[in-house]
Chains A and B, each alone.
Chain A
Amino acid sequence: MERYWNEEIECMSREEMKKLQDERLVKQVKHVYENVKYYRDLMDEKGVKPEDIKGVDDLCKLPFLSKADLREAYPYGLLAKPLSDCVRIQSTSGTTGKRVVAFYTQHDIDLWEDCCARAITAAGGTNEDVCQVCYGYGLFTGGPGLNGGSHKVGCLTLPMSSGNTERQITFMRDLGATILCCTPSYAAYIGETLHDMGYTTDDIKLKAGIFGAEPWTEEMRRSIEASLGIKAYDIYGLTETSGPGVAFECSEQNGMHINEDNFIPEIINPETGEVLPEGEVGELVFTSITKEAFPLLRYRTRDLCVLSREKCSCGRTLIKMTKPMGRSDDMMIIRGVNVFPSQIETVLIEQGYSPNYLIEVDRVNNSDTLDISVEMNPDQLSDKVKDMQDQERALAAAIKTMLGISPKVHLVSPKSITRSEGKAVRVIDKRKLHD
């Protein structure tokens, strides 16, 4: 039996949802135009007035915002409420450049936590559950978002934050945690540590996990589900729009429902900015229609995915997005070919390796090199060097089939690649260091 946090919204008819979005969008554009000079200038430059936006169909008339705009407007340039109305900031990790700081009024936090509550409920959470949140707390949105959602649902919340994995497992066991929230790479590490400590899935009560904040593959999902004995649900979000909970997975585990009463999604051609029809792959763009303090209109996420309104077996009518095929930040162009770490991860898991790997890209004599360090599979250890080198060659060949370019594969010892407690660092692009 599927449970909903807000059935009225989550199962609303398309017509009603569009009407709601139309009303909210018109109001929001007016709010932004009046209060955010930065965006008003962009609209004026394009010759668009708030009156031109009568509903969702007019969305394409509005100018885009990109991460570059956020940097330029840092820190207060996109703020739409006086600071006296704001109660919190959250911030990005800043790993791909300057930090983004997002502001929240209490109303914004309530909406955000409500989105997270929908995700927890869709994963089967109720007030009977014990929810262990091991996303980082602090500036990162992961911990505070799921923490708030868990409170709303009424779960007993364990605000663990990330790190100290053995202690995580002790709490998980002693307090009977039933829902785990963290990054997928940390979930994999918790599973690994659980088994290293001599426990099995019989020793824990977990039934579901809500994992997000970094790209992960179907293969990794199956591997985490087996190692922790749970159903693993994806969750999507970004600091710029609020945090986790912009979209979430349901029991179908096939794409994430976007909370489109708060965020209107569009898919565009990343080169031309043209809006693409449903079903086509393109860059995901979000317009926040309920946020007060930091309401971004047509924000380009740089995530590539597909939107679908196909009927979902869970009963929700909220539009679905596929798992992002990769954030364009993660995309590497190697010898002219677009490469996503997730493609390499897919091959590794298919071939029986752990999803812990390190990609090093370099340029030698004007040619790109791709080196992938992979933890060898202890069950495949042979005393014969030839066998081990055959394993490296077979893996390199499988990756070449996937990517179209030949990598050098280096087997390294088990557990020698640093485990991540938050977002995993999987790519070292040395070409950038030379520039």
Chain B
Amino acid sequence: MANVRQISVFLDNKPNQLTGVMKLIKESNINIRALSIADTKDFGILRIIVNDTDKTVDILRKASYAAAVTEIVAISIPDAPGQLSRALDILGSENVNIEYLYAFLGTSDKSVSFVIRVDDNENAASALTKGGIIQLTENDISEM
């Protein structure tokens, strides 16, 4: 199972920081598929999944941003009550620890997609496969 690469970008907690990154991305015709921001008093960490990870990292670093790539798990589950709980149960039963997760837009209004950052990608992937949860590849996401 190919994991999905997510880009993290360090942002100062002051006006126009996100705008700066978005402008760069816009100018390079890169499409953002998923996005979340973690904020602290001093700084934020922008997390994005894009349709061209290598190019995006290159552009960001050239513009002096601190950018890092981490592998995450992405799943697609039916848009119905109890579905996220079921997926989390599967991970919990295999003792997979979740650092954070966020939802993003899929292509269908009958399903929801999630990025899940776990401590053990392999273990999580095999648990999800066994539990019948659809996992998205980086290719799936970039073609959404």
- Chain A residues engaging chain B, CB cutoff 8 angstroms: 196, 376-378, 381-386, 388-389, 392, 410-416
Contacts and interface: CB of A to CB of B under 8 A. Distances in A.
Contact of A381 (B64, B67, B99): B67
Contacts of B64: 196, 413-415
B62 to A, nearest CB: 9
B38 A385 contact: yes
A388 B66 contact: no
Contact of A376 (B6, B17, B47, B66): B66
A413 B66 contact: yes
Contacts of A412: 12, 42-43
Contacts of A382: 8, 45, 68, 70
Contacts, number: 63
Given A376-B10, A416-B12, A383 B68 contact: yes
B40 interface: yes
B122 to A, nearest CB: 18
B50 interface: no
Interface in B33-73: 38, 40, 42-43, 45, 47, 61, 64-68, 70
Contacts of B8: 381-383
Given A388-B40, A412-B43, A381 B66 contact: yes
B12 A383 contact: no
Q: Is the interface of B mostly helix, strand, loop or mixed?
A: strand
Contact of B66 (A378, A384, A386, A392): A378
Nearest to B70: A383
Given A383-B8, A383-B117, A389-B40, A413 B65 contact: yes
Given A388-B45, A412-B12, A383 B67 contact: no
Interface string B73-108: 000000000000000000000000001100000000
B128 interface: no
Given A384-B99, A411-B10, A413-B12, 7 more contacts: A376-B66, A378-B61, A382-B45, A383-B8, A383-B70, A413-B17, A416-B12
A383 B6 contact: yes
A356 B45 CA distance: 21
Question: Which among A377, A385, A410, A413 has the greatest number of chain B C-beta atoms within 10 A?
Answer: A413
A384 B117 CA distance: 9
Nearest to B6: A383
A77 B122 CA distance: 79
7 nearest CB pairs, A to B: A378-B66, A383-B8, A381-B68, A410-B42, A385-B38, A381-B66, A383-B70
A175 to B, nearest CB: 28
B4 interface: no
Nearest to A375: B66
Contacts of B38: 385
A413 B6 contact: no
Contacts of B61: 378
Contacts of B116: none
A159 to B, nearest CB: 30
Contacts of A384: 45, 99-100, 117
Given A378-B66, A383-B68, A385-B40, A413 B45 contact: no
Given A378-B66, A414-B66, A383 B40 contact: no
A378 B68 CA distance: 8
A385 B66 contact: no
A413 B20 CA distance: 13
Contacts of B124: none
B42 A392 contact: yes
Contacts of B68: 378, 381-383
B125 interface: no
Nearest to A392: B42
Given A376-B66, A388-B45, A389-B40, A413 B10 contact: yes
19 contacts: A376-B43, A376-B66, A381-B66, A381-B67, A381-B68, A383-B8, A383-B47, A383-B70, A385-B40, A389-B40, A412-B43, A413-B10, A413-B11, A413-B43, A414-B64, A414-B65, A414-B66, A415-B64, A416-B12
Contacts of A378: 10, 61, 66-68
